Every structure is written in C-alpha cells, then in structure tokens.
Structure 1
C-alpha cells in the first residue's frame, strides 16, 4: 500500500483543529507567537518580599522591561503607570508617547530604597502600533542582595485589555 503525504498532512491538520490547536492564537511558550495592534498590560512588581519566621521585608530593586520583538515594525508605548498595593496611582513614567523601533527596548528602574508601592505594587503599560505586530515582551526583573544572600526573579506581564481600534 502506497502512503500519500498530502492525505497524512491533511489528517494531522484535521486532528489538530479538532483538539483546539491553532498556532496563530496559541500561548507563546516556544516557537509560537501572538499578534496585536495594541494592548494594556498589567505587570506585578515586588518591591519587597517577606522572609524568615518573623516575615521580615527583604527590599528588591525592580526593572520594568518593554521589548519590541517585531522584526519589521515600530510600536508606541503610550503609558507606563506605577500603582501601589491599594491601587493608587503613584507615578506616570511617560510624559509623551515613546516610539520603539523594530527590536528596540526601554526600561524603568526602581531602586531597593523605593518601597512606596508595597508588596502588591504594579505597572500598567499601554502600547499601540499602526498595524498588527508581534506582541512585545513586558516584564519586571526583581533583584536584591543582603549578607551574601541574593534573590532574583522575573514577573511576566499579563494582557488585561486588547485594543479594538
């Protein structure tokens, strides 16, 4: 019996569709990507974490990173707002929109001494583009060191609103 590659590929595509696999709309672990014209992204910030039996605060420095991962198109960052644990706006970090070229990036740094946000602080980042592009990577990197001990981790952003314009 002779195998027909086109039939096998069509069968595989049908099975993937039945089980809900759609490469263009899948989450983005490895090799998959998302597209958008703009989003509002919530990014958790941990200006301190608690450690030890007395739950002592361990202060952390924070770096918000925004990376345009589109190879061909620019994007605009239209807002970078920093909120405290209670949801109160502490600062807006952009006076005017910032254009990031293809593969360009920007960051906001908060030092260890900046604890105004508290344990539940967050950034809300808004961005847009003239056409559909690869969605940017928006994340916070937290790092701290004390008495020869260090801690570092990354907090990924989460889309809370998709632009519909």
Structure 2
C-alpha cells in the first residue's frame, strides 16, 4: 500500500514529459492533412497565373495592448472546380514587415478537382506578428476563379478560446494565350 503513492508520483512525472515531445514533432509538420501530389511544372506552362495575399495572425493583442495572445493559423487552399485541376507553385509565410519567414513547398503541388490542402503556422511561432501573411501563387489552364483560400486562426488560454477566419485577396493576375 505504501508503494502506491510512489508509483503514482513516478507515473505522473513520466507522463508529464511526453507532451513536450509531441509539440516538438508538430513544429516539423508541414503537410498535415494527406499525401500531396507533387509535379514538375513551371508557372510558365499554365494559361492563367494568380498571386493571392492572405492575412494571418500568429498573435493578437489583448487587454491593454501590451499582452499578446498566441494563435495557431491554418491556411486552407481549396479547389472548388468539379472538373479542372490547378497547380500551387508557392506558399510563403511572411512577417508583419513583409519579410519571408518560411517557404512551405519546394515543388509544384497538383490540386485535383475538389481537393484541399493546408499549411499550418504552429502556436509557438511568434515572429510573424499581428500583420503576418501568406502569398500563394497558383495557376490553371481553365476556369481561373476556382480556388477558395482562407486562413483560420485559433487559440486557447486558460478558459479563454478564440477563433476567426480571413480570406484571400488577389494581388496579381496574368492571362496568357
């Protein structure tokens, strides 16, 4: 009976060490949802090319404006076409000053009809700031308005929970013959 409290204490200590390993693994995860299809295709090969700006918030200010509330941001890129494929050429994460902090893909991603992909800015990332953003460059041969790009920010602290959504703004379009 005296061994039970010691065994319980050792179990609690061992279990409390495990979440740190899980958080470490999350930092390395870039493609959380499924296996993406990478193709060798340059942006010059498509008839339509677009660059979208998506505001994301790695943190927001609260209380008197001096405290930061850290958030996890998920960028969602959705092909809404029932028939056409699109190509994602780049997805770059920038800080409040426009400086690129992370390049999320190294080669072109093929996005089939109705397929979605996500990129996650983890909770611990605190360099982006309240003015962070993504720039996504994508292209297609047909139907140039078929992507839906949104960012969802979520965060919890104590019993406080927060979530909100932002949408992409087209900053550059190029139509080719």
Q: Choose which of 64, 72, 87 in structure 2 pairs with 1:76.
A: 87
Q: TM-score, normalized by length of structure 2?
A: 0.70
Q: Choose which of 100, 104, 109 in structure 2 pairs with 1:98.
A: 109
Query: CA RMSD of the aligned region, Å?
Result: 1.4
In 1, distance between residues paired with 2:82 and 2:65? 49
The aligned length equals 130
> How many Å apart are 1:135 and its aligned residue?
2.5
| Preserved contact between residue 57 and residue 73 of structure 2 (Cα < 8 Å) | yes
Please, which runs of 5 or more residues in structure 1 have no aligned partner? 1-35
> How many Å apart are 1:159 and its aligned residue?
0.4
Q: Choose which of 146, 150, 175 in structure 2 pairs with 1:164.
A: 175
User: 1:117 is paired with a residue of what secondary structure?
Assistant: coil
Deviations 1:20-48 (A, max 9, x none): xxxxxxxxxxxxxxxx9331000001000
> How many Å apart are 1:163 and its aligned residue?
1.8
Q: Which stretches of structure 1, 4 residues or longer, exceed 4 Å deviation after superposition?
A: none
| Preserved contact between residue 64 and residue 139 of structure 1 (Cα < 8 Å) | yes
- Structure 1's 111 and 39: CA in aligned 2 closer, same or farther, altered over 3 A? same
| Preserved contact between residue 70 and residue 133 of structure 1 (Cα < 8 Å) | no
> How many Å apart are 1:54 and its aligned residue?
4.6
| Preserved contact between residue 76 and residue 151 of structure 2 (Cα < 8 Å) | yes
User: 2:141 is paired with a residue of what secondary structure?
Assistant: strand
User: 2:123 is paired with a residue of what secondary structure?
Assistant: coil
* 2:148 is the counterpart of 1:131: no
